[in-house]
């Protein structure tokens, strides 16, 4: 029994010593804090942050960090980072930037994060992130320009709009279609072509307005286009067309304009009399 008690005592003493070493020595806890964008997209840049916290009891000195990513990730800054010391209870934030390969498949991308303290053994932790293929979606917007002539009940007008692609993917074989409750669009579907990112084009729709009340009417613009993988997409936007009454089309101050014209004619006539007619009469005398 004495031997068993002695063995138990030695085991407990050994465990206590191990716990003491673990608590008092430097020890790093590493975590993947976040990455942006989430999920990562093929062909784009990616920024990733890793935290390393010293949860031990002593200062961690001469700490070396190394990040080793796998395909489809490629580091564009240094893979090695070092710190002369990380105090107990403190942490550091490590930032890494990548480019994701254009042909990256959907799924997980892996990396090994390695660190050592004061030239000792190397600890390895594995992280992974989610990668998705770039969707190449486009964002087509319709921007109102003008109606020419100004729209009025029962008239015909041409509605001009600018179509802009506000996204990072090219929209191929764009077709624009329009509809409005204010009247009939005589050619409601127009082929625009390809719109690259931040590109725009103009399109005109001829409208025969009905006998509608003056006011503001929506014109719904529907887009059909394809992406680089030949997938068909649809999008829509709305512009607003102002319809004015016949009275509003008349120039303001119409009577005043007529008086002005009469005054102008009289001025011209007076000038002709003074500088042309009268000199001729003097010569005849």
User: How is 142-161 classified by DSSP, letter by letter?
Assistant: EEEEEEES---TT-EEEEEE
Say what the pLDDT of residue 266 is: 62
User: Is the CATH number 2.60.40.10 carried by domain 140-248?
Assistant: yes
Say what the pLDDT of residue 3 is: 57
Alpha carbon distance 92, 11 (integer Å): 37
C-alpha atoms less than 13 angstroms from C-alpha of 26 in its C-beta half-sphere:
23
Say what the pLDDT of residue 157 is: 95
Alpha carbon distance 249, 154 (integer Å): 13
Closest CA to 224 of 175, 164, 162: 175
Say what the pLDDT of residue 283 is: 52
Same fold? 23-132, 140-248: yes
Instruction: With beta carbons less than 8 A apart as the criterion, state whether 176 and 190 touch.
Output: yes
pLDDT tens, 228-240?
Answer: 888 888 888 899 9
DSSP state of 276: I
C-alpha atoms less than 13 angstroms from C-alpha of 125 in its C-beta half-sphere:
12
Instruction: Give the burial class of 19: count Cβ atoms within 10 A of its Cβ; 0-12 exposed, 13-18 middle, 19 or more buried.
Output: exposed
User: Is the CATH number 2.60.40.10 carried by domain 23-132?
Assistant: yes
Decide: helix, strand or coil at residue 242: strand
C-alpha atoms less than 13 angstroms from C-alpha of 62 in its C-beta half-sphere:
6
Say what the pLDDT of residue 103 is: 86
pLDDT tens, 170-185?
Answer: 899 999 999 999 999 9
Say what the pLDDT of residue 277 is: 47
Alpha carbon distance 150, 44 (integer Å): 46
Say what the pLDDT of residue 12 is: 53
Say what the pLDDT of residue 248 is: 81
Closest CA to 97 of 46, 143, 61, 58: 46
Q: Where are the domains of the chain?
A: 23-132, 140-248
Q: Which residues of the chain have pLDDT under 50?
A: 8, 15-22, 254-257, 277, 284
Instruction: With beta carbons less than 8 A apart as the criterion, state whether 227 and 138 touch.
Output: yes
For 38-54, letters b (16+ CB in 10 Å) and e give eebbbeeebebebebbb
């Amino acid at each position: 029994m004495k031997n068993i008690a002695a063995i138990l005592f030695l085991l407990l003493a050994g465990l206590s010593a191990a716990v003491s070493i673990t608590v008092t020595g430097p020890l790093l806890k590493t975590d993947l804090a976040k990455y942006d964008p989430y999920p990562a997209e093929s062909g784009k840049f990616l920024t990733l942050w890793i935290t390393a916290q010293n949860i031990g009891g002593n200062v961690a000195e001469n700490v070396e960090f190394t990040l080793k990513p796998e395909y489809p990730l490629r580091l564009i800054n240094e893979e090695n980072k070092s710190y002369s010391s990380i105090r107990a209870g403190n942490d550091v934030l490590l930032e890494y930037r990548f480019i994701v390969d254009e042909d990256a498949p959907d799924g997980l991308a892996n990396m090994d994060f390695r660190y050592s303290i004061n030239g000792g053994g190397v600890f390895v932790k594995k992280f992974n992130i989610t990668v998705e293929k770039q969707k190449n979606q486009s964002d087509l917007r319709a921007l109102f320009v003008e109606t020419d002539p100004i729209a009025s009940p029962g008239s015909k007008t041409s509605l001009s709009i600018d179509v802009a692609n506000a996204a990072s993917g090219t929209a191929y074989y764009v077709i624009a279609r329009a509809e409005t409750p204010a009247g009939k669009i005589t050619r409601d579907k127009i082929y625009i072509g390809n719109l690259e990112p931040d590109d725009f084009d103009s399109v005109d729709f001829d409208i025969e307005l009905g006998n509608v009340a003056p006011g503001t009417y929506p014109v719904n613009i529907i887009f059909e286009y394809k992406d680089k993988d030949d997938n068909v997409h649809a999008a829509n936007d709305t512009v607003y067309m102002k319809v004015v009454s016949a009275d509003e089309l008349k120039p303001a101050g119409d009577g005043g304009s007529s008086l002005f014209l009469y005054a102008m004619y009289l001025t011209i006539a007076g000038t002709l009399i003074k500088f042309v007619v009268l000199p001729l009469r003097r010569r005849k005398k």
